[in-house]
Structure 1
Amino acid sequence: MTAPERRGAPAAAKTHALQGLRVLDLTRLLPGATCTMLLGDLGADVLKIEQPGVGDYNRSFEPIARQESGSFLLLNRNKRSMTLNLKSPAGRDVFLRLVREADVVVEGFRPGVMDRLGLDYDTLREANPALVVCAISGFGQTGPLREASGHDLNYMALAGALQLFGTPETGPIVPGLSIADVGGGSLMAVYGILAALLARQRTGEGQYIDVSMFDGLVTWLAYHGADTLFAGVEPRGGERAFIGSAPCYNVYRCGDGRHLSLGIIEAHFWERLCDLVEQPAWKANQWPQGAAAAVQFRELSALFATQPLAHWVERLLAADIPAAPVNGIAEAFDHPQSRARDLLYACEHPVEGRIPQLGFPVKFSGTPAEHRMPPPLLGQHTHDVLSSLGYGAEAIATLERDGAV
């Protein structure tokens, strides 16, 4: 599988949606990197500020391409990189110079770290009253867990979301996606930043945005939370209609060992399936409960096991019944729909050569996202940035000698 070259932006497009926005990225790992990459794709000038000699921890995560981590390469395009030691007084001074010219600072430290660095919000606001500061953390800046350590799985568990995965037999299972990191962190941060920038247009003032991955997850629970809040029912994986108990909304193993997702909700689709497989008796009971649901699941399982996946996909899609194969990631990337939507493309990297990239998820008619630069090498733009701040060659050499950059 090869990634196609990036298609050019429409000829009429002259600007990017966030062109001219200056973002200082102090984050490491997935939540912040995804947030700032999305901003960069829309035209923001994202300066990734990394620890000298170490950089973003994600640079060392497997798999490694030639020198860089594959996940780092997929999360850091359209960014520049400079190294800066924020614990150094000289490094702190450099950062405050950058803040005076910036629009947004995004940080992902534990609550209290920026205060200890002497870079608390009051200090940053004094340097630039129009600055928007977005802090992404696990549990937020307040509350009894504000300084607690955690990762995606822990936030999922505490927010009541993890129990929605799995079955009564398995209990909760580890989801295959970083739902808290991206859904509760990255996307909420992008939303918050853009809202704060819109408010700044009216007030001229920046503000502080406290993004908690835990909080973000809780807002995802509106559908299943209704079971608890209005019916007094605790939803768990395999026990409620849309989390594994409904035969009409489930996953089935086909005759070749591949799996099929059946996503029927509306009655007319259910009746269409019953007609297709010549089971009119099923029509009267689309949503069986308890033992009846187990019987219907076994009957559907036996049916789908009679033929390979391709057979069922062809028949069900031809009948306009909501169904899809359970694809592997390579299949998903290579799918005609993915290619039609430019969800995979390739770019050139100065060390790694030709590398794949995942496309921007939102399409704009007038200000489309664009690939402008590959993921940066560690500190690749440090000298350029310092020069733009007025540091001469001798001053830059002093900063390097003192370990400030």
Structure 2
Amino acid sequence: ARFLSVNRNKRSMTLNLKTEKGREIFFKLVQKSDVVLESFRPGTLQKLQVDYERAQEVNPQIIYCSITAYGQNGPYKSKAAHDINILGLGGVLSITKDRTIPGIQIADTTSGLLACIAILTALITREKTKKGQYIDISMLDGVISLLSVHAAEYFATNVSPVPEKMPLSGGLACYHVYETKDSKFITLGALEPKFWNLLCKTIEREDLIPEQLREDQKSLKKVLKDIFKQKDQKEWVNILTDMCTPVNSLEEVFQDPQVLHRDMLSFVDHPAAGTINQIGIPIKGLDTTKMRPPPLFGEHTRAILTNLGFLETEIEEFKELGVI
């Protein structure tokens, strides 16, 4: 399921870079390509003899992007790491309640987004310079870049932020998650005075209006916790329209009218899996082509090699020799 979810609109080929013929094919691809994207440990592609310097020799305009845990230099460059390791080292878990692992892979996702931004920037730059670039993306750098607000507080006070003390990370009662009568949850975002005042009037606790930012947030959270336990989730969402949303399960997300209206649930026909659900494209307004299903493993190897000019007999030989 994960392979299907992240590989739509792609073509798949197999290629053994440990063989001389595999490297020859790789460089033929480089000649016809705009971008090479890889995530091997630093030094691996040099050993395989398919690194940026060699790629640039056959295509001086190639954009070559490497995503690694710690980047191409520094004392940790050769170490392996997973998302959780980066979140720990980068300080994210230190500001997360109970040092809980987030529900999504923040470091993995952030590094991918940064790589996308960097590649697009390099492509635009190439229009002017006619030169390629090497891009070095570190998962650790990416995670640390997300801490700009938290780091600003630390730089100003020399005190490290702690969980549930920061205003937007659980420190304020007016910006928090609460359980409802039906054992579901809602998010409350009543930061601005107009929303806080409206909340206090709605729950008939106008005495709390001047207490929004009081030092003792714990007792204020307790007051709101008891109040929100008096009604079901749907009731609160309807009553507090602009400051409250449900905490949805994925089943509820993909039944939500706003999500459906924005085509964030889509369907594609896959040759092996049949009709499969996919998350829609979040960027609207672009002149995009029709969504193609994720490929089978190596599905396009033969077609790509044919496009590179290899004969059918050569392709069969590659298969026998373990090149593909």
Q: Match of 1:36? A: none
The match for 1:179 is: 106
Deviates more, 1:225-234 or 1:271-280: 225-234
Shift of 1:294: 1.4
- Structure 1 counterpart of 2:144: 218
- 1:313 and 2:237 equivalent? yes
- In the TM superposition, what is the alpha-carbon distance from 1:178 to its structure 2 partner? 0.7
Contact preservation (8 Å) 2:268, 2:291: no
Name the CA distance, whole Å, in 2 between partners of 1:109 and 1:338.
36
Q: State the match for 1:234 in structure 2.
A: 160
1:156 matched to 2:87? The reply is yes
Q: What is the CA distance between 1:342 and its match in structure 2?
A: 0.9
1:79-90 correspondence to structure 2 within 5 Å: 79-90=10-21
Q: 1:118 aligns with which of 43, 49, 53?
A: 49
Corresponding residue SS for 1:357: strand
1:139 equivalenced with 2:70 (yes/no): yes
| Whole-Å separation in 2 of the counterparts to 1:244 and 1:233 | 18
Cα displacement (A) at 1:233? 2.7
Identity %: 38
Match of residue 30 from structure 1: none
Unpaired segments ≥5 residues, structure 1: 1-69
Once the two structures are superposed, residues 198-231 of structure 1 have per-residue CA deviations (whole angstroms, 9 ceiling, x without a partner) of 0000000000000111111111111111110112
Shift in Å, 1:121: 1.0
Q: Call closer, same or farther: CA 1:253–1:372 in 2, change over 3 Å.
A: closer
Distance of 1:369 and 1:235 partners within structure 2: 43
Answering whether residue 65 of structure 2 is matched by residue 101 of structure 1, we say no
Secondary structure of 1:80's aligned partner: coil
SS at match of 1:79: coil
Is 1:336 the counterpart of 2:257 in the alignment? yes
Whether the 8 Å contact between 1:271 and 1:283 is mirrored in structure 2 is yes
Alignment map for 1:3-402 (pairs within 5 Å): 70-166=1-97, 171-183=98-110, 185-289=111-215, 292-317=216-241, 320=242, 322-364=243-285, 367-402=286-321
SS at match of 1:377: coil
* 3-state SS, counterpart of residue 91 of structure 2: coil
Separation in 1, partners of 2:251, 2:289: 24
Task: Provide the TM-score with structure 2 as the length reference.
Answer: 0.98
CA distance in 2, matches of 1:207, 1:297: 52
* 8 Å Cα contact 1:274-1:280 kept in structure 2: yes
Aligned equivalent of 1:21? none
The residue type paired with residue 380 of structure 1 is E
Q: Does the 8 A contact of 1:253 with 1:259 survive in 2?
A: yes
**Unmatched runs of 5 consecutive residues or more in structure 2:** none
Q: CA deviation at 1:260?
A: 0.9
Q: Deviations over 1:114-144 (max 9, x none)?
A: 1110011110000100000010111111111
What residue number does 1:15 align with? none
Partner SS for 1:135: strand
Distance 2:83 2:25 in 1: 33
CA distance in 2, matches of 1:297, 1:174: 24
Is contact 2:70–2:77 with CA below 8 Å preserved after alignment? yes
SS in 1 for 2:85: helix
Q: Which amino acid aligns with 1:301?
A: K
TM-score (norm 1): 0.78
- The match for 1:39 is none
Moved over 4 A (4+): none
